[in-house]
Copies of this chain bind each other. A is one copy, B any other.
Amino acid sequence: MARKHSAADAPLRLDNQICFAVYSAAHAFNRVYKPLLDRLGLTYPQYLVMLVLWERDDVPVKEIGERLFLDSGTLTPLLKRLEAAHLVKRTRSREDERQVLISLTPQGQALKEKARAVPQSILAASNCSVSELVAMKDEIVALRDRLNAVIEE
């Protein structure tokens, strides 16, 4: 019987950790996205914010945070960088002065067309069928939501 380690250590072995699989896959995605997003002048988290805004414009920071699971400590400086790049505008809501609404500039809207090439390249890099990816995505989202549910308690 080939036994590299004691069985009691199995739960602590790196290659048995699903969290490390997810963690390292996220970094791998980041590295594949990097050259694609460089052409758009975006980082990956900035790209996610743009995806939100391309779906619906004029969104409060709070709502962007809820969709991406990020807080203002991350979003405020990120949005300022997008503003400095002339892709979004930040304006205080007139109805509720606490809210800052994020809206696309014409350049921000135009970038959407250039971005359409990105998902195709990612699909190619994944070397996977669309249906496989969709199935995996649904499983991962379900796991994520269960984890987030535990945190809420």
Contacts and interface: CB of A to CB of B under 8 A. Distances in A.
Interface string A112-142: 1001100110100111100001101101110
B140 A31 contact: no
Contact of A140 (B116, B122, B127, B136): B136
Q: Which residue, A12, A44, A120, A133, has most C-beta atoms of chain B within 10 A?
A: A12
Total copies of the chain: 2
A143 interface: yes
A146 interface: yes
A98 to B, nearest CB: 25
Contacts of A68: 14, 20, 24
A69 B24 contact: yes
B140 A126 contact: no
Chief secondary structure at chain A's binding surface = helix
A110 interface: no
Interface residues of A, number: 57
B51 A11 contact: no
Contacts of A144: 21, 24-25, 28
13 contacts: A9-B55, A13-B55, A14-B55, A14-B68, A20-B68, A21-B140, A22-B26, A22-B140, A23-B44, A25-B140, A32-B150, A127-B149, A136-B143
Interface of A: 5, 9, 11-14, 16-29, 31-33, 44, 48, 51-52, 54-55, 67-69, 112, 115-116, 119-120, 122, 125-128, 133-134, 136-137, 139-141, 143-144, 146-151
